[in-house]
């Protein structure tokens, strides 16, 4: 019925204007941010009758649901489809619900736009053109847009890192380049590739796209980034978010590192800070190990930093780095002992347990 109408369309990658399912997952108004995101979606320069709007509400409580539903109802006549879902779960699970919904429709191209990202009007055309131009020996899995949150919206610790670390002062390339994984904040995905790569791993929160993209690149696909236009990320960061790392972040990172064979690279840094902590605890007995480990750290930061950062960044960041490394080391030990870190947890393949609030499709009205 609904899926048949969609599948009947031309899904050729060479089509200049193929069908696209566009998804935004939200859980709050974020002040007026969500409204601004919807406005940027409305301004997209792309035929509305070739877009399925898919909105997923993570049971918001501040009026976001009513805002989005009203916005969608006004667009049922000129879009190919409008689907509004309410669902519970972490970000990876909500993304999986979105992917399954789009796959069931038979649409080939799928776009994620985060609820705090403003896209430019040419977002879809530029991403589709990039897929067409770069579909060579390594087929394109995704095209991610580069975004910037703005220096003023960083927390104070990250501001110091940006100001003093040499690696943070690199300019945006202003071109299309290949990355190690994808970034789903604003990206276009070829769903034909998803059938082979699989769904997001729901054990991995917050950085689920890094694991997903690495799985794609291991299968021979390319994850591209387009930095020709830098999108605006309307978000303010705070160190209070650091506590999330100890609830789920460390377990997510640990599974990602172990599954993708980069655990040793991550542990090099983590074990250094674990050593600093151990040496500090033993300093009452002998300060020599602490002096040596701190000297090594200072030497590394001196090479990587500029200005006062050569002297100040190491002691300022040390407490946070130690706490994070201890959590990551414990999380890796947890996964090694528990096992199962090589497989993906996916809970959306059975009978749907989410609520489809509204659904209008071309040919069903």
The pLDDT tens digits along the chain (365 residues) read 233 334 333 344 456 789 999 999 999 988 789 999 999 999 999 999 999 999 999 999 899 999 999 999 999 989 999 999 999 999 999 999 999 999 999 999 999 999 999 999 999 999 999 999 998 889 999 999 998 888 888 888 888 998 999 877 666 667 899 998 899 999 999 999 999 999 999 999 878 999 999 999 999 999 999 999 888 888 776 666 667 777 678 999 999 999 988 888 888 888 899 999 999 999 989 999 999 999 999 999 999 999 999 999 999 999 999 999 999 999 999 999 999 899 999 999 999 999 999 998 765 54
**pLDDT for position 172:** 62
**pLDDT for position 309:** 92
**pLDDT for position 15:** 62
**How many other CB atoms are there within 10 angstroms of residue 103's CB atom?**
18
Phi and psi of 251, rounded to 5°? -65, -35
Cβ neighbours of residue 269 closer than 8 Å, sequence gap 6 or more: 321, 325
Cβ pair 205, 252 in contact under 8 A: yes
**pLDDT for position 361:** 79
**pLDDT for position 198:** 95
Two tokens, residue 291: 């002096």
Cβ pair 148, 229 in contact under 8 A: no
Two tokens, residue 66: 């009513």
Two tokens, residue 78: 């000129």
DSSP reduced 3-state for 70: helix
**pLDDT for position 262:** 87
């Amino acid at each position: 019925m609904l899926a048949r109408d969609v599948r009947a369309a031309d899904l050729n990658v060479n089509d200049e204007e193929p069908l696209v399912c566009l998804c935004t997952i939200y859980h709050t108004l974020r002040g007026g941010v969500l409204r601004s995101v919807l406005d940027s979606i409305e301004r997209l320069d792309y035929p509305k009758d070739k877009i399925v709007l898919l909105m997923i509400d993570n049971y918001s409580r501040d009026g976001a649901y009513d805002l989005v539903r009203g916005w969608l109802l006004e667009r049922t006549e000129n879009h190919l489809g409008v689907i509004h879902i309410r669902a519970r779960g972490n970000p990876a699970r909500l993304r999986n619900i979105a992917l399954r919904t789009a796959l069931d429709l038979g649409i080939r191209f799928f776009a994620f736009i985060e609820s705090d990202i403003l896209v430019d009007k040419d977002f879809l055309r530029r991403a589709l053109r990039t897929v067409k131009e770069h579909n060579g020996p390594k087929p394109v899995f995704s095209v991610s847009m580069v975004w910037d949150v703005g220096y003023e919206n960083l927390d104070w610790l990250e501001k110091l890192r940006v100001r003093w670390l040499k690696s943070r002062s690199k300019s945006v390339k202003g071109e299309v380049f290949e990355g190690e994984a994808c970034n789903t904040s604003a990206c276009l995905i070829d769903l034909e590739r998803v059938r082979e790569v699989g769904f997001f791993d729901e054990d991995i929160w917050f950085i689920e796209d890094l694991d997903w993209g690495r799985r794609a690149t291991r299968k021979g696909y390319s994850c591209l980034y387009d930095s020709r236009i830098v999108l605006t990320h309307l978000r303010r960061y705070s160190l209070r978010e650091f506590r999330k790392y100890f609830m789920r972040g460390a377990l997510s990172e640990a599974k990602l590192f172990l599954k993708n064979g980069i655990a040793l690279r991550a542990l090099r840094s983590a074990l250094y800070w674990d050593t600093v902590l151990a040496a500090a605890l033993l300093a009452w007995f002998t300060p020599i190990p602490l002096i040596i480990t701190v000297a090594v750290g200072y030497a590394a930061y001196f090479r990587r930093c500029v200005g006062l950062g050569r002297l100040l960044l190491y002691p300022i960041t040390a407490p946070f780095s130690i706490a994070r490394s201890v959590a990551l080391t414990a999380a890796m030990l947890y996964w090694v002992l528990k096992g199962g870190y090589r497989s993906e947890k996916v809970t959306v393949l059975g009978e749907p347990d989410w609520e489809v609030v509204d659904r209008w499709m071309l040919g069903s009205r």
